[in-house]
Amino acid sequence: MALTDDLPALDSEYPLTSDAIAAYARDGHVRLDGVVSEAELAPYREAIRRIVAERNRETRPMEERDTYAKAFIQIINLWVNDETVRRYVLARRFGKIACDLMGCRAVRIYHDQALFKEVGGGPTPWHQDQYYWPLSTPNTVTMWMPLVDVTSDMGTMRFASGSQVEGFIGQLKISDESEAFFDRYVAEKGYPLVGCGDMKAGDASFHTGWTLHKAPGNAGAYPREAMTIIYVDADATIAEPDNENRVNDMRGFFPGLGPGDPVASPLNPIVYARS
């Protein structure tokens, strides 16, 4: 789809408070309401839905899928080949929020992903995002934005508040094993479980790469459509991959680069920098 002049710009600033920044630093996550309005979101939602429908190859009945495949339909880097989604993913408004939360000089895109949890879709097990990422820095943040109004029983995010201080905990991908291990871990450590609850389309949560999080299955009447964008400190470098997922991420999201290089491939543009 060609970029049109009548798309909402998404370059104005969101009024991020010092309390929100402090909460993010303390808890490893923060919920922000009304990051985009319904009118602003509408054309981008339609473009994201169209690409998910075009690229989704999952046709198996739910009972034939493993835990990961039951959790969501996942489509990655929608922005690369679509000008409408590009404008959404590279939005200055989102980039500035990420930069202010991390307190860095500038931020780059790591990648985007649509995560659509189907009706009857399973829970997303406990995990740490940064297990998958070959990055030299803990200074990462994921924006998770519902594209439709969602209730808590449709699969909004739940965090082990404060767990980001642990950093890397273990080589555990999203699985039944990660759910069991981290469920015990969170209980033993006494981290509060904080959920986002019901959310309007255009609200968003932001969490660090090391914050333990999960989501329930979708018991609602329609799909939980969400878009995520992962940001990284623009001055970060690529770390030596120590698991297969990080090897694959390095090849897929940092093409032509390797350990020690800046995270600065053509797939990782700077979306906000302080003047």
Rounded Cα gap, residues 34 and 49, in angstroms: 20
Q: Which long-range contacts (CB under 8 A, 24 or more apart) does 182-187 make?
A: 182/125, 182/126, 182/127, 182/212, 182/214, 183/126, 185/212, 186/126, 186/160, 186/212
CA 77 to chain CA mean position, Å? 12
Q: List, for residues 238-268, the tens digit of each pLDDT value.
A: 999 999 999 999 999 999 999 999 999 999 9
Q: Which residues pair with 21 in a beta bridge?
A: none
Domain count, the chain: 1
To the question of pTM greater than 0.75 for the whole model, the response is yes
- Domain assignment of residue 142, yes or no: yes
- Domain assignment of residue 2, yes or no: no
Encoded tokens for 102:
């991390």
- Domain assignment of residue 13, yes or no: no
- Domain assignment of residue 11, yes or no: no
What would the mean pLDDT of 125-152 be, rounded to a whole number? 98
CATH (domain of 117): 2.60.120.620
Residue whose C-alpha is closest to residue 121's, from 76, 200, 63, 201 = 63
Full domain range(s) for residue 249: 18-255+265-273
What would the mean pLDDT of 227-245 be, rounded to a whole number? 98
Say which DSSP state 237 is in.
B
Residues whose CB is less than 8 angstroms from the CB of residue 137 and which lie 6 or more positions away in sequence, other chains included: 232, 233, 235, 236, 237
Q: List, for residues 49-59, the tens digit of each pLDDT value.
A: 999 999 999 99
What's the chain's average pLDDT?
96
- Domain assignment of residue 7, yes or no: no
- What is the widest separation between alpha-carbon atoms in the chain? 53
Q: List, for residues 191-218, the tens digit of each pLDDT value.
A: 999 999 999 999 999 999 999 999 999 9
